[in-house]
Structure 1
């Protein structure tokens, strides 16, 4: 499956229904979540350029990929472009799942900062 699924012209000219069908078929055949996310991101660009019918294109597939498959480098790279596909509690859980190390580091940093701010040097009294 080294053949390109969509050309640039096709991604920016075909109807949403046609694009949805082709991308869904591609994912079902290849199970390649990275390339699938890239195609959906191209459609998000089309939405941002003014095509309102692409607002939440392939929402179910995006939700499935991020919530049920292993997070690939591509998924991590484009993760924040799909924030509006998820509700706030889901997004929070998903961030913990996709970026476990980063979240651990942030928590350690906040705990250390809180410990440092609560420890105050004793005031020296002059006699």
Structure 2
């Protein structure tokens, strides 16, 4: 398991500007998007615990990670915690990008089941 760059004490006690700077520097050095997403999730917890200034912390970095980098298991697992970082059109784009197979399967299933459902509904009304 990779070593975390921050202690829990640092994540929950550093000021907003300090933690933003350190996470940005960490990402620039390591390019480890999975660890950065986990750190950002910890900051979301800090926001939920009452630190209002952490509402949309590192919004540009979150958008960059989810829209421009390769989707990792960690990103897929925690994507829904960052939905409020995106507008609705951006969110659809991010969701399609992170879950391409799932979206393809859902679309294919709806295309197959839609005519079948219509067929059964027509049979039910004629009998």
Normalised to the residue count of structure 1, the TM-score between the two structures is: 0.91
Partner of 2:41: 41
Partner of 1:80: 80
- Alpha-carbon displacement from aligned partner over 1:34-58 (angstroms, at most 9, x marks no partner): 0011101100000011110000000
Partner of 2:68: 68
| Structure 1 counterpart SS, 2:4 | coil
Larger radius of gyration: 1
| Structure 1 counterpart SS, 2:123 | coil
Partner of 1:121: 123
| Distance across 1 between alignment mates of 2:97 and 2:23 | 25
Uncovered stretches (5+) of structure 1, i.e. residues with no partner: none
Normalised to the residue count of structure 2, the TM-score between the two structures is: 0.91
Deviation of 1:113 after TM superposition, in Å, equals 2.3
More divergent stretch after superposition (69-78 vs 105-114)? 105-114
3 and 121 in structure 1: CA distance in 2 versus 1, 3 angstrom threshold: closer
Partner of 2:31: 31
| Distance across 2 between alignment mates of 1:89 and 1:29 | 31
Structure 1 ranges of 4+ moved more than 4 A: none
Uncovered stretches (5+) of structure 2, i.e. residues with no partner: none
- Matched length: 123
